[in-house]
């Protein structure tokens, strides 16, 4: 893998206790829809080894450590669509599974305004240990689910589920749902078209950020490379705070996904 540092396995610290494993959660593994759902930022769990990365509890609860509400939304979608869902069980501050292993933002030294003391001056062995014990198991588990779906369905759709903070670096974000894409905009555009008449929410393509911000790693590795339709859904997290509103967002997104896949003739004979 590009950027990997060769280090003897014996040098690796063990980052997780037996109770803290596995690092990946798979929900509805046998889901019948031609879809793979992914939630890379599902958890703000920081294993004991890291001593909270030097952060306060309030910081660990904030959006810098995870996507608040995203896992709840993704599980609701998994249930509604009957689709398998792959979630990381580790905070993105330990390793951001939506980044390549060699990305400087995979183990960020600062997130928005907050320095992350536990990510400063990492040794090659510490860096490699996180790649080996957090990133690679996620990459492998997601790859397995995608491979299974490709055996069962011609072109399953890869759909990643995220949330974003309403205010970032002091700037208020008006967009409510972003449909992000990189080189293949087919599914994102089909969902946007489906929203016309089905939703009053402010929904935009590649907002509040886009592939130029380095957020398309999962789409590129598991979607584009396999020739699968793909989209990254970003929901403003103030709409996911209440269970009722989160359920409404899930219902809206389910409709948009169903309509888009039908229009693209990707519904596996209308099974979803």
Nearer to Zn ion, 96 or 128 (CB): 96
Pairing, β 35-39 against β 157-164: parallel
Nearer to Zn ion, 215 or 272 (CB): 215
Nearer to Zn ion, 41 or 181 (CB): 41
How near is the Cβ of 90 to Zn ion at its closest, in Å? 13
Question: What is the C-alpha to C-alpha distance for residues 216 and 198, in angstroms, rounded to an integer?
Answer: 27
Piece of 36-44, 52-60, 220-228, 258-266 that binds Zn ion (CB under 5 A): 36-44
Report the chain's C-alpha Rg in angstroms. Answer: 18
Nearer to Zn ion, 188 or 272 (CB): 188
How near is the Cβ of 8 to Zn ion at its closest, in Å? 34
How near is the Cβ of 208 to Zn ion at its closest, in Å? 12
SS3 track for the chain: CCCCCCCCHHHCCCCCCHHHCCCEEEECCCCCCCEEEEECCCCCCCCHHHHHHHCCHHHHHCCCCCCCCHHHHHHHHHHHHCCCEEEECCCCCCCCCCCCCCCCCCCCCEECCEECHHHCCCCHHHHHHHHHHHHHHHHHHHHHHHHHHHHHCCCCEEEEEEEECCEECCEECCCCEEEECCCCCHHHHHHHHHHCCCCCCCEEECCCCCHHHCCCHHHHHHHHHHCCCEEEEEEEHHHCCCHHHHHHHHHHHHHHHHHHHHHCCCCCCCCC
How near is the Cβ of 44 to Zn ion at its closest, in Å? 12
How near is the Cβ of 19 to Zn ion at its closest, in Å? 26
Nearer to Zn ion, 59 or 67 (CB): 67
How near is the Cβ of 99 to Zn ion at its closest, in Å? 11
Judged by CB under 5 A, the chain residues 37 through 66 that form the site for Zn ion are 41
Nearer to Zn ion, 162 or 236 (CB): 162
If one asks whether residue 96 binds Zn ion (CB under 5 A), the answer comes out as: no
How near is the Cβ of 63 to Zn ion at its closest, in Å? 9
Cβ-contact 43, 97 below 8 angstroms: no
59, 67, 96, 128: which one binds Zn ion (CB under 5 A):
67
Nearer to Zn ion, 41 or 217 (CB): 41
Number of amino acids touching Zn ion (CB under 5 A): 3
Question: What is the C-alpha to C-alpha distance for residues 62 and 68, in angstroms, rounded to an integer?
Answer: 8
How near is the Cβ of 197 to Zn ion at its closest, in Å? 28
Q: Which residue is nearest to Zn ion (CB)?
A: 162
CB atoms within 10 A of CB 254: 16
Nearer to Zn ion, 119 or 126 (CB): 119
162, 181, 217, 222: which one binds Zn ion (CB under 5 A):
162
Interface with Zn ion (CB under 5 A): 41, 67, 162
């Amino acid at each position: 893998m590009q950027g990997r540092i060769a280090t003897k396995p014996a040098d690796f610290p063990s980052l997780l206790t037996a109770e803290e494993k596995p690092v990946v959660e798979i929900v509805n593994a046998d889901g019948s829809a031609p879809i793979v759902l992914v939630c890379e930022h599902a958890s703000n769990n920081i294993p004991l080894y890291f001593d909270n990365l030097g952060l306060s509890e309030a910081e660990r609860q904030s959006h810098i450590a995870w996507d608040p509400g995203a896992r709840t939304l993704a599980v609701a979608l998994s249930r509604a669509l009957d689709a398998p869902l792959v979630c990381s069980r580790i905070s993105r501050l330990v390793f951001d599974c939506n980044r390549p292993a060699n990305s400087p933002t995979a183990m960020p030294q600062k997130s928005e305004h907050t320095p992350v003391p536990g990510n400063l001056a990492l040794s090659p062995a510490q860096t490699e240990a996180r790649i080996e014990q957090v990133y690679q198991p996620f990459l492998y588990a997601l790859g397995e689910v995608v491979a299974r779906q490709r055996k069962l369905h011609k072109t399953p759709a890869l759909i990643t589920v995220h949330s974003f903070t309403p205010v970032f670096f002091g700037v208020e974000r008006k967009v409510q749902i972003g449909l992000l894409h990189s080189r293949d905009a087919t599914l994102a555009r089909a969902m946007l078209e489906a929203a016309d008449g089905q939703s009053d929410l402010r929904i935009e393509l590649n907002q509040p950020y886009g592939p130029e911000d380095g957020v398309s790693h999962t789409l590129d590795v598991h979607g584009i490379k396999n020739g699968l339709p793909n989209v990254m859904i970003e929901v403003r997290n103030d709409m996911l705070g209440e269970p009722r509103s989160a359920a409404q967002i899930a219902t809206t997104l389910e409709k948009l996904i169903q309509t888009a896949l039908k229009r693209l003739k990707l519904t596996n004979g209308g099974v979803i």
